[in-house]
Structure 1
């Protein structure tokens, strides 16, 4: 097997998965995935395939015309036969349904995503003049109630890292493993908290991507472009300590270049990091329910508080649209506006004179 880097191999695995998923969709859908390939990530196309699978199963189960038609044989003409009302009924159905022997529940965010998938799907065929109507484009987007962004306070960050370093609250069995992994675990969590990179970017790191001389890491962002993210002294120390261990570990075949390794000396995967964060956060008393993404939010919050530069935060976090960043940190924006209420004096000491 060719010695591919993590991201190239991931794209190949995603392509194989996409072919499997599209083989269960109407035949005309293949042109859609070919058409959007140059402008979409492989994970995005997989998400579209999952969403379209739900949509066409709904059509087959609820439209008498297609009850006896195999999904693969559903023609493109069906898209012009669907009305905005049909789409609205589909969105209602998404709140709860059973498929493939499992129950499925979609919240507001899930329903919005599936409507967005349908819009992209219809837009492709409408612009290429394969269909004459575009009902998803005139269906109102469901109202979405933005959830509060959960992030760690400074003392919570300190307590979490202390627990990773000491392992005091671990069971006797866990402590045996902890002795072997604590330097790696501390380096990993310190890196996430000190740079705000995504977990996928973290596990994709190769040894050559870590530049200790310039205190930077080269990562591949969503969308495939590469960039360098710089880290501070605490991250530098944690990564250096781990690198001293990593140099003496013989990695398994295919993981020779990986920076972070599992106990089996294979490249760490996203699920392993999620479990690692969950394990340590559960040991810290009164700590919020934490995921790797919340560590990313914590970094973004702290960076914004220190700099007040929303564009810098967007750039460092890799947000393509600064409005995404603004939504995430709207509460901090409000705090900053509130702090400005007495910053400008209109008449010197007038308030003080009245209180004498």
Structure 2
């Protein structure tokens, strides 16, 4: 079941191993901060913080005149951090935006804001615990918020067109590609049906084991973002698609009868997140060419449809696994506006005789 699955244990251990590799590149005084984050955050978040700190220290090594050009970031002394000013932090933000030096990169506002969040959190921790006295991030410029983008989602007609494309392998590809598609038609149908009718994340989808499903209750156990498990329920369309795949196609993809993974690749191993992303690109490019869709947009499509039908934002938040209802409300604010516009066209008292 979910949290105890071998797949999820291996996934966690691989991320933990990556974290330790990154920590080995950083000065030793960074480890207390990352250890603290490891106790309070998801492992992927801590890995991201480690990457962001490495970027910060690479900036110092490349741009700070006090340091030697050949100095390794691991050897940067703590005293340097206390000597930085808000101008140095602003220069770091410009460094993040564009750098054509040794560490070439370009970042957009969202990427800069994320890395600045890590550096601000690092300085706050170091000052709180008296490693440092000076926090130069306090006076640094705050990034302007990136303009909100419309949430890309599909309407009912587009969903039906997409599913028809998947089920009938109705895509304009070579004979060889069509033959490969036909080998996994039931699997692909099951994946798309599951994503579009439950709103689970692609990482949650690929982590499913066959014994996570209970067809007597039409329920399945999913390991949510953060590692907690939750029981979700599915409709008849999902039940039929999963059963057909398990009975008729999954056996042809099995290399070992003891394999627990639900969704398998043609290489006879658990399908990867990247493979599902490619599947979504392939089918949606043909079925809904006007929209750039990803597995996460399948999730948005389901959340939107569910909210339209129920008007219950708390229900949508619970089903999607959002810990903070404000996350859900932010994604579906456009529908709230649609409701208000619709309300303005209604004459509830029959007074409009025109």
Offset of residue 79 of structure 1: 2.6
Partner residue, 1:335: 338
Aligned with 2:78 (options 58, 65, 76): 76
Partner residue, 1:119: 120
- Taking a change above 3 Å as real, the CA distance of residues 185 and 99 of structure 1, as seen in their structure-2 partners, is farther
Partners of 2:327 and 2:58 in 1: how far apart?
Answer: 33
Q: Output the TM-score relative to the length of structure 1.
A: 0.91
Offset of residue 279 of structure 1: 1.0
Q: Structure 1: 5+ residue runs without aligned partners?
A: none
Partners of 1:250 and 1:162 in 2: how far apart?
Answer: 23
RMSD (Å) for aligned C-alpha atoms: 2.1
Whether the 8 Å contact between 1:126 and 1:132 is mirrored in structure 2 is yes
Partners of 1:254 and 1:136 in 2: how far apart?
Answer: 56
The 3-state SS of whatever aligns with 1:145 is: coil
- Taking a change above 3 Å as real, the CA distance of residues 243 and 331 of structure 1, as seen in their structure-2 partners, is same
- Taking a change above 3 Å as real, the CA distance of residues 248 and 122 of structure 1, as seen in their structure-2 partners, is same
Q: What does residue range 62-73 of structure 1 map to in structure 2 within 5 Å? A: 62-68=63-69, 69-73=71-75
Mean Cα displacement is larger for which, 193-202 or 309-318?
Answer: 309-318
Q: What does residue range 175-254 of structure 1 map to in structure 2 within 5 Å? A: 175-245=178-248, 248-249=251-252, 251-252=254-255
Aligned with 2:93 (options 76, 91, 110): 91
Partners of 1:81 and 1:48 in 2: how far apart?
Answer: 22
Partner residue, 2:320: 317
Which protein, 1 or 2, shows the higher relative CO under an 8 Å CA cutoff with sep ≥ 6? 2
Partners of 2:248 and 2:139 in 1: how far apart?
Answer: 58
Q: Output the TM-score relative to the length of structure 2.
A: 0.92
Partner residue, 1:298: 301
Question: 1:260-306 CA distances to partner (integer Å, 9 max, x unpaired)?
Answer: 00001100110011111111112225341111011111011101111
Q: Structure 2: 5+ residue runs without aligned partners?
A: none
Question: 1:29-77 CA distances to partner (integer Å, 9 max, x unpaired)?
Answer: 1222222211111111111111111111111111111234321111222
- Taking a change above 3 Å as real, the CA distance of residues 111 and 4 of structure 1, as seen in their structure-2 partners, is same
Q: Does 1:168 align with 2:174?
A: no
Residue-pair matches, total: 348
